[in-house]
Amino acid sequence: MNTTEAAFIAMAVAASAAVAAAIVLPARSRVVWVGVFTALSATAGGVASLAVLVGGDSFVTVIPDVFPLGGVRLEFDALSALFTFGTALVAVPAAVYGIGYSGQGPSSRPAQAAWPVLVWSVMMVPAAGNAIGLIALWELMALSSTVLVLAEHHHNAEARRAGQWYVAMTHLSLLAIALALFILVHQTGGESFAAMRAGAANVGPVAASTVFLLALVGFGVKAGVVPLHVWLPRAHPEAPSHVSALMSGAMVKLGVYGLLRVGWDLLDGGPLWWGAVVLTVGLISAMFGILHALVASDLKRLLAYSTTENVGLIFVGVGAAGMFAASDNRPLAAVALAAALLHVLNHGAFKGLLFLGAGSVLTATGTRNLDHMGGLGRRMPVTAATFAIGGMALAALPPLNGFVSEWLLLQSLVHSLPSEAASVAVAMPVAVAVVALTGGLAAAAFVKAFGSAFLAMPRSAEAEAAHESPFTMRTGMIALAGVCIALALLPTLLANPLERAIAPATGIADGAPISTNGVYVHLAGIQAGLSPLMLTLGLLIGVVAVFAVVRRSRARSTVRDIPPWGCGRTLQTSRMEYTATSFAEPLQRVFDDVLHPEIDVVVDHHTESRHYVESIRYHSETRDGIENRLYEPLLAVARRWGDRARSVQNGSIHRYLTYSLVVTVVVLLVSQ
């Protein structure tokens, strides 16, 4: 029994213990033990994946006859391990955080039992090594997360709507994935992934492309890419915050994993247009996601849309890798894929951290609306500082981890020229432009979120009375902030694990994409260097040098607190501050044609004279355009057909017996 196998057993045992604790124990101690066992289970998952990524272990096992039609095969290679590792990075702090968070919120038995199941299944999905295993684990993940999305449905109607959307979309996902795997099994004649790989050469181009497109839809739903993202901005805000952290930081990445596994491992890559489609989907998701994040005033909705943006960026990396590989530029393809996989880890860490921060704010103020917050930086210093770290990573600002993966992605895109293929030459400048614009808009979204939640004066009594979160919640946030910083300073440690993780994608892998001497990052086939460590050191030296000079000023010691400049007015209230909505207004105006905001201005006049205004009400709402224009009509059609079908069902038992008779006769005739 090697380390990986032992860790897998520990994972399952700890997760079962957590479920048992959730069912048996009373409410107060339940939360603590569920948190502890879930954290242990996630730690075991981290150990298992490190053994594969760093130690070069591998793990294959078959558990026969779990299901009527066959057993579950587990196959844990480096690509799987990278995703499981990313999950563990988020899940351990989220589980610790969950102890304090659930103490004040969702501590019911079903919610507490579903949480360890979700953590375990998200870690296990990448380990699935056959079709039935993948489908079973995927469904377990979907069901447990649904329970958690609905955790607060008693007093929150919005959570029920979110749950409906989530269930519908996640089953669309399962349907598409099952179909894709069914075709694969049929064409390759094997049910395990190993057999599919061996038989991939027999799959015709049409069948392969069908499988790929079905996988793109199925896994795209889970990844939350446009136009399949509609569940995401509803479900993530409604779930408890540590669950949102895991969903956003880890679960959506399994969409990327599945696409890579099916498209570039089992099918071993395909024509250029596969990559081009993934790239296009990624670009549209990135733009759409960040624009909606920018105008959202619900903090968790903002973060959810930003997840769509970041998954879009990961898709850009995967798509570019596919395009480069198809046009025979494998070293560059490996760099693009390494960028995408590094961003999987980075996004997991910083988005997990931001959702934990949002949860901390939510418990302290009772609101998710940024326009009602403000001044929380003084009242919740730990939350503010860790949120700032996560937000800077989100905005891809150096010296944080988001910058490193964005830099890698830009390098791979920029060095695609000169290329043979004209499609690459046209696609890449567009891709760079979109990545750049999303980067700039993400910075604006971060300034908006952080500025209106944590800075200046509180805009409501609840924000005024806010207090810092309990110890376990702070621990979770500090731990994830530490992960972000570690990933930022030492991405060089990930050079070998990334090379191993890319290896299963044999159509793309080409030796080491990143070479490093521990300090500098160098890329295969690209003359470019970056040293995150030295850059951070340089920045620190710059800041310290400036500070040392300023300290010598004799003015430094005297600070006088004064009211801010108000153009001669003496009274300055929080109503005069810029709100999140007003901050985003110029950009909303610039991107008017994409966002289509609905703005109502109602002006009431005095009854005596129309020249005097009594009150002005301004209401602005930006609804998801894709939900409005694509899903609403579809739902309307479904509802109309549903209404028509109702006339068939009139409650008469005689009629129903006639239906059964007719159907039986038809089936008999057809099967003849």
CB of 433 to other proteins, least distance (A): 4
Among 26, 205, 563, 568, binds other proteins (CB under 8 A): 563
- For position 116 contacting other proteins by CB under 8 A, the verdict is no
Residues in region 341-380 near other proteins by CB under 8 A: 375, 377-378
CB of 592 to other proteins, least distance (A): 10
Q: Output 193 or 454, the one with its CB closest to other proteins.
A: 454
The first and second tokens of residue 514, run together, are 């990143």
Q: Output 56 or 586, the one with its CB closest to other proteins.
A: 586
CB of 439 to other proteins, least distance (A): 6
The first and second tokens of residue 431, run together, are 């891709």
- For position 546 contacting other proteins by CB under 8 A, the verdict is yes
Total residues binding other proteins (CB under 8 A): 93
Helices marked H in 415-531: 422-454, 461-464, 471-489, 495-502
Find the part of the chain contacting other proteins (CB under 8 A) among 190-198, 276-284, 472-480, 547-555. Answer: 547-555
Among 528, 620, 626, 631, binds other proteins (CB under 8 A): 528
Q: Output 247 or 435, the one with its CB closest to other proteins.
A: 435
Among 27, 566, 639, 655, binds other proteins (CB under 8 A): 566
CB of 494 to other proteins, least distance (A): 19
Q: Output 558 or 652, the one with its CB closest to other proteins.
A: 558
Among 11, 396, 489, 498, binds other proteins (CB under 8 A): 396
Residue 392 CA to residue 526 CA, distance in Å, equals 27
- For position 13 contacting other proteins by CB under 8 A, the verdict is no
- For position 567 contacting other proteins by CB under 8 A, the verdict is yes
DSSP run (H or E) holding 211: helix 205-223
Query: What does the per-residue mask of binding to other proteins show for 590-619, with x meaning CB under 8 A?
Result: x-----------------------------
- For position 561 contacting other proteins by CB under 8 A, the verdict is yes
Residue 396 CA to residue 401 CA, distance in Å, equals 7
Closest CA to 473 of 377, 372, 355: 355
CB of 442 to other proteins, least distance (A): 9
Do the beta carbons of residue 316 and residue 282 sit within 8 Å? yes
Quickly list DSSP for 503-531.
TT-TTT--S-SEEESSS-EEETTEEEEE-
Number of CB atoms found within 10 A of residue 506's CB: 14
Q: Output 555 or 670, the one with its CB closest to other proteins.
A: 555
Degrees, nearest 5: CA angle 66-256-335: 130
Among 589, 605, 629, 639, binds other proteins (CB under 8 A): 589
Number of CB atoms found within 10 A of residue 225's CB: 30
Query: What does the per-residue mask of binding to other proteins show for 413-452, with x meaning CB under 8 A?
Result: xxx-xxx-----xx-xx--xxxxxx-xxx-xx-xxx-xxx
CB of 599 to other proteins, least distance (A): 16
Query: What does the per-residue mask of binding to other proteins show for 471-510, with x meaning CB under 8 A?
Result: ----------------------------------------
Among 554, 610, 619, 644, binds other proteins (CB under 8 A): 554
Do the beta carbons of residue 315 and residue 279 sit within 8 Å? yes
- For position 568 contacting other proteins by CB under 8 A, the verdict is no
CB of 313 to other proteins, least distance (A): 14
CB of 223 to other proteins, least distance (A): 24
Q: Output 219 or 350, the one with its CB closest to other proteins.
A: 350
Strands (E), 118-241: none
Cis, peptide link before residue 418, omega less than 30° from 0: yes
Q: Output 32 or 388, the one with its CB closest to other proteins.
A: 388
CB of 228 to other proteins, least distance (A): 26
Query: What does the per-residue mask of binding to other proteins show for 454-473, with x meaning CB under 8 A?
Result: xxxx----------------
Residue 327 CA to residue 276 CA, distance in Å, equals 12
Where b means 16+ CB within 10 Å and e means fewer, 518-534 reads eeebbbbebeeebbbbe
Residue 19 CA to residue 258 CA, distance in Å, equals 27
- For position 576 contacting other proteins by CB under 8 A, the verdict is yes
Whose tokens are 């026969």? That residue is 64
Q: Output 243 or 400, the one with its CB closest to other proteins.
A: 400
Q: What is the DSSP letter of 130?
A: B
Residue 299 CA to residue 372 CA, distance in Å, equals 11
Where b means 16+ CB within 10 Å and e means fewer, 596-606 reads eeeeeeeeeee
Residue 262 CA to residue 183 CA, distance in Å, equals 12
The first and second tokens of residue 227, run together, are 């136009």
The first and second tokens of residue 538, run together, are 């340089």
